[in-house]
Amino acid sequence: MIRATCGVGRIGRAVLSWSACSLDLHMNEHQSSEVEKVLLYISDARTRAKRAAAAVEKDGADAHIVAALADAERQLAELHRRLAQGTYYAVPDGSLKLAV
């Protein structure tokens, strides 16, 4: 949940100012639940890709197969991070400005 009022704040030497008055943006419980489900599925797929890479490597698979599974695991980790940041930690455009 993001709540803000008109004003200026200071963090160290940086000055934060927001232009939107009474900004009140948040996900409701259903929306949050849906995002959490997707994050869980991505996390499960990442774990499965990591286990699969280890299993096929142990089984003597070609290097390109192991590399593809390892790459899939890395991409899923990045996707998980981007989704979490884009939903839980996103700041609406134009609501906060950083001035030094």
Distances (CA, A) of 13 to 6, 10, 91, 92, 96: 20, 7, 21, 23, 16
Give the model confidence (pLDDT) of 3-59 as tens digits: 433 444 444 444 444 443 333 457 789 999 999 999 999 999 999 999 999 999 999
CA distance 65 to 57: 8
Token pair recorded at residue 46: 């990442």
- Give this prediction's pTM: 0.64
CA dihedral 18, 22, 23, 27 (to 10 degrees): 150
Give the model confidence (pLDDT) of 70-86 as tens digits: 999 999 999 999 999 99
- What's the chain's length in residues? 100
